[in-house]
Amino acid sequence: IRSATTSLTRGNFAKISSSDLSFFERTVGSSYVKTKDIDNYTCDWTKQMKGSSKCVLIPSSTEETSTILKYCAEKRIAVVVQAGNTGLVGGATPLFDEIILSTSRINNNFHLEESSGVLTLDAGIILADADYLLAEKGFMMPLDLGAKGSCQIGGCIAAGAGGIRLLRYGSLHSHLLGCTLVDGKGTIIKLGGSLRKDNTSLHTAHLTIGSEGQLGVITSVTMGVVPRPISILCAMLAVSSYSHCLRLLSLARSKLGEILSSFELIDGETMKCVERHLPIKNIFNEPHDFYLLIETHGSNGDHDGEKLNEFVEEALGAELAEDGVAAHSENERTHMWRLREESPIAAAKDGYIYKFDVSLPLEHFYRLTEETRKKLGTRARVYCYGHLGDGNSHLNVTTDGEDEELKKELSPFVYNWVVSHGGSISAEHGIGQLKRDYRSLGKSEEEISLIRSLKGVFDPHRILCPYKMIPSQE
Ligand code: 2HG
Ligand code: ZN
């Protein structure tokens, strides 16, 4: 195991001393300064990136976080912020010996204002737990993603997570109203507020969306949540060509309108990979080139069912889909979603993995997969799944063992292809350490310089999450 970016040298940060450790122990309690058995923190989900941090600090509050960061700023100790450690670009993984500051224990406060649907919660609360608590009150987190059982809400904001319902409910920018941030000097700043509408100044809370810990540690989040849908329905279509997938997306938009919540794609190779590595069966008996998973959220099961059936019938009647199945039970719906949500797990089991998460104009969405297959031939296996409704493709390439040559060729090929076709090199996973060498692609000098200046305001000593998304001053 080694870090994704090998050519970097350690920054001019202080090394941790025993007096630093004593200070941290006095601040958070000795059980929450971990120096042993910390592999779960120093290594990322893909197990491809690993740092050699000497300690993990697990504060329980905004105030403790502030005390730690004030101290680290003064001593010039580098810190990497980590939430659920489910990220896919190594943003929360140290590269050298950065201290790891985990937000896992900042998870006590949860307050829902029922009349307005505004929720204030501690950043360390796990997404699925928040959703569970909301369900009791008839509300739902607008955000849902495969990592929901481990990812934390603060981490979701910092990662700018997208997920499987963005099509319906919009991005985090539509939901985040305010947050508490402890910046790189240890200052506690309340950004934004708790009103649905507040147009009095710059929307500073939004700066934290996708900030990857560069500006500070998010310790509390205030966001709008949505009414829990009364009816959730799901269907899967088997499709023979990508152009038919696109026509089905248009048909779904017009037939299902506002109840359309997810429109996900799994390509034929991915489905075979899922069946090869996981105990989940394709719901269609015959293999197909593409599968679409469509979910609706609405308030009337009969109406929604009628609409969904009409859509599936028209898709079959017009021969846009080769086959179609609607889920008739919660078990069937879970089965369909497992095929999609466990695609990343199956791909990870398939060999050494090279992961991509890109946005593309829909006309080019699948061409990237085809071109990558053509380029790599028998050297690698290429999988594509993703959020077609959002133009977000998860291209995953695997080889039997790590292939240095392929690694050197593949990222520049994919990223240049994406940018030259009007796309983005990161749709929802961020930059982290995996994409740091490509972070300026598609960005103007002026924007990069503005981002650098903002970093300097929040974290003048540049102790937070070094070597990653934001280029240093030098
Ligand atoms: C998903 O949509 C996640 O399943 C992970 O964003 C994607 O691992 C991936 O390729
Ligand atoms: Zn995704």
CATH number of the domain at 191, please: 3.30.465.10
Q: Are residues 298 and 388 in the same domain?
A: no
What is the distance between the terminal CA atoms of the chain, rounded to a whole angstrom?
Answer: 29
Q: Ligand 1 atom 6: the closest Cα is on which residue?
A: 163
Q: Are residues 241 and 253 in the same domain?
A: yes
* Residue 2 maps to a domain: no
Q: Which residues contact 288 (CB under 8 A, 6 or more apart)?
A: 238, 239, 240, 268, 271, 322, 323
The token duo for 179 is 């947050």
Ligand 1 pocket test: which of 353, 357, 393 has the largest number of ligand atoms within 8 Å of its C-beta?
357
Amino acid letter, 392: N
User: Closest ligand 1 atom to the C-alpha of 344?
Assistant: 8
Lowest mean pLDDT among 216-230, 269-283, 459-473: 459-473
Amino acid letter, 322: E
Q: Are residues 301 and 373 in the same domain?
A: no
Q: Are residues 298 and 364 in the same domain?
A: no
Spatial contact of 252 and 260, defined as CB atoms under 8 Å apart = yes
* Residue 99 maps to a domain: no
Query: Which tens digit of pLDDT belongs to each residue from 151-161?
Result: 999 999 999 99
How many helical (H) and strand (E) elements, i.e. helices and strands, does the chain have?
A: 14, 19
- Position 219 scores a pLDDT of 99
* Residue 71 maps to a domain: no
CA of 71 from ligand 1 middle (Å) equals 37
Share of the chain above pLDDT 90, in %: 97
Ligand 1 pocket test: which of 156, 394, 435 has the largest number of ligand atoms within 8 Å of its C-beta?
394
Amino acid letter, 455: K
* Residue 176 maps to a domain: yes
- Position 280 scores a pLDDT of 97
Spatial contact of 433 and 95, defined as CB atoms under 8 Å apart = yes
Q: Are residues 204 and 244 in the same domain?
A: no
CATH of the domain at 337: 3.30.70.2190
> Which of 322, 292, 288 shows the shortest CA–CA distance to 308?
292
CA of 384 from ligand 1 middle (Å) equals 10
User: Closest ligand 1 atom to the C-alpha of 395?
Assistant: 10
* Residue 319 maps to a domain: yes
pLDDT band at 182 (very low <50, low <70, confident <90, very high): very high
The residue written with tokens 């740091």 in the block is: 436
Classified as helix, coil or strand, 118 is strand
* Of 227, 246, 266, the domain-final residue: 227
Q: Are residues 249 and 332 in the same domain?
A: yes
Mean pLDDT to the nearest integer, 295-321: 98
Range of the domain at 210: 110-227
Q: Are residues 370 and 329 in the same domain?
A: no
Query: Which tens digit of pLDDT belongs to each residue from 325-334?
Result: 999 999 999 9
- Position 2 scores a pLDDT of 42
Spatial distance between the Cα atoms of 16 and 94, rounded to a whole number of angstroms: 14
Spatial contact of 42 and 52, defined as CB atoms under 8 Å apart = yes
Spatial distance between the Cα atoms of 105 and 282, rounded to a whole number of angstroms: 39
Ligand 1 pocket test: which of 47, 86, 88 has the largest number of ligand atoms within 8 Å of its C-beta?
88
User: Closest ligand 1 atom to the C-alpha of 348?
Assistant: 8
* Of 177, 202, 227, the domain-final residue: 227
As a dihedral over the C-alpha atoms of residue 459, residue 465, residue 466, residue 467, rounded to 10 degrees, the angle is -140
Spatial contact of 11 and 466, defined as CB atoms under 8 Å apart = yes
Q: Are residues 257 and 330 in the same domain?
A: yes
Q: Which residues contact 311 (CB under 8 A, 6 or more apart)?
A: 235, 251, 252, 255, 256, 294
Bridging pattern class, strands 79-82 and 99-102: parallel
* C-alpha pair distances (Å), 153 with each of 128, 144, 219, 440, 450: 9, 11, 10, 27, 27
Classified as helix, coil or strand, 215 is coil
**Is 88's pLDDT higher than 70?**
yes
Q: Are residues 120 and 208 in the same domain?
A: yes
Q: Which ligand has the shortest distance to the CA of 346?
A: 1
Sheet with strand 33-34: strands edge to edge: 33-34, 56-57, 99-102, 79-82
Q: Ligand 1 atom 3: the closest Cα is on which residue?
A: 146
What is the DSSP annotation of 44-62? Answer: -TTS--B---S-EE--SSH
Q: Are residues 427 and 324 in the same domain?
A: no
* Of 194, 209, 227, the domain-final residue: 227
Amino acid letter, 77: I
> Which of 408, 233, 199 shows the shortest CA–CA distance to 326?
233
Looking at the DSSP assignment, which residues form a beta bridge with residue 254? none
The token duo for 239 is 């499709």
* Residue 204 maps to a domain: yes
Q: Name the domain count of the chain.
A: 3
Ligand 1 pocket test: which of 345, 372, 429 has the largest number of ligand atoms within 8 Å of its C-beta?
429
Q: Are residues 218 and 137 in the same domain?
A: yes
- Position 324 scores a pLDDT of 98
* Residue 31 maps to a domain: no
> Which of 416, 461, 422 shows the shortest CA–CA distance to 441?
416
Query: Which tens digit of pLDDT belongs to each residue from 243-295?
Result: 999 999 999 999 999 999 999 999 999 999 999 999 999 999 999 999 999 99
The residue written with tokens 């594509």 in the block is: 384
What mean pLDDT is reported for the chain?
Answer: 96
Q: Ligand 1 atom 4: the closest Cα is on which residue?
A: 341
Q: Ligand 1 atom 10: the closest Cα is on which residue?
A: 394
User: Closest ligand 1 atom to the C-alpha of 396?
Assistant: 10
CATH of the domain at 384: 3.30.70.2740
User: Closest ligand 1 atom to the C-alpha of 146?
Assistant: 4
**Is 5's pLDDT higher than 80?**
no
Q: Are residues 194 and 285 in the same domain?
A: no
* Residue 90 maps to a domain: no
Query: Which tens digit of pLDDT belongs to each residue from 346-356?
Result: 999 999 999 99
305: exposed, middle or buried (C-beta count within 10 Å: 0-12, 13-18, 19+)?
Answer: middle
- Position 473 scores a pLDDT of 59
Any residues with Cβ below 6 Å from ligand 1, and which? 88, 146, 344, 355, 394, 396
Spatial distance between the Cα atoms of 439 and 437, rounded to a whole number of angstroms: 6
CA of 357 from ligand 1 middle (Å) equals 8
Residues, the chain, total?
A: 474
Query: Which tens digit of pLDDT belongs to each residue from 11-33?
Result: 999 999 999 999 999 999 999 99
Sign of CA dihedral 424, 428, 429, 431: positive
User: Closest ligand 1 atom to the C-alpha of 162?
Assistant: 6
**Is 4's pLDDT higher than 80?**
no
**Is 193's pLDDT higher than 80?**
yes
User: Closest ligand 1 atom to the C-alpha of 392?
Assistant: 2
pLDDT band at 386 (very low <50, low <70, confident <90, very high): very high
Determine how many CB atoms are found less than 10 A away from the CB of residue 219.
24
The gap from C-alpha 96 to its chain's centroid, in whole angstroms, comes to 24
Mean pLDDT to the nearest integer, 423-450: 95
